[in-house]
Amino acid sequence: MVNPIGPAGIIHLIVFGLVLPWGAVVSARRLERNPLPQRLQFFYSVILQHAAFITLSCFVAWFELIPIWKLPDDPVRALAISFIFFSVMLVLVVPQWRRNVIEGERKAYLFMPGGAYEKSLWGVISLAAGIGEEISYRAVLWGLLARQTGSIFTAAILTSVIFAFSHYVQGWKSVLAIFAFAMSFHWLVTLTGSIIPGMLVHAAYDFTAGIMYRRFGDKYGYLNNGGDYDPDLRSA
């Protein structure tokens, strides 16, 4: 049975279900044709985007009566599951991060914070992404689609597809991996009864990605933007 949603929910479905995935594909193609933006400029824009998305999603959650701050059913168990989940994720993805750097993946430059200020901004981005994306996708979008489809599993698949294409800027090869991770985050919510563990894991994962990309960049002498060496890799 399809449960009706209000105007706020419809806006959320349009923005997160259509506009953001389309915009991510367009942005990725633009980045392929044009010079990459300066990292600080990119960081500032990402922070502003997450702030806007968090604001919108929190409003929609309130309007549509979708709980977002429910604590885990068993906090200790949730913490243990989250630690295992995070550890497995790193085992799976760290080798790919290393390969991306060694192969000179062009967009990796955007995920290599250098120096204390950039790393502090990366921390803000990671926290905002962990909180905002779990609210926007694993709480609000999943909840709205579950109402429309009558199935939390179907809704999880649809939400994960949307989430993956919304990160298309990371490259088309990453879409399948991001889809798999998104589905596993739905599983984490199901196991713990809350999106809060997912927020913590998501934020820690993103922050670790930036630190590791930077470390690999230092180690392997990463080249970016058509072969222009990133001068602060050796000085940070």
The CA distance from 225 to 108, in Å, is 10
Looking at residue 223, its pLDDT comes to 67
Looking at residue 224, its pLDDT comes to 58
Looking at residue 233, its pLDDT comes to 44
Confidence of residue 190 (pLDDT cuts 50, 70, 90): very high
Mean pLDDT value across the chain: 90
pTM of the model: 0.90
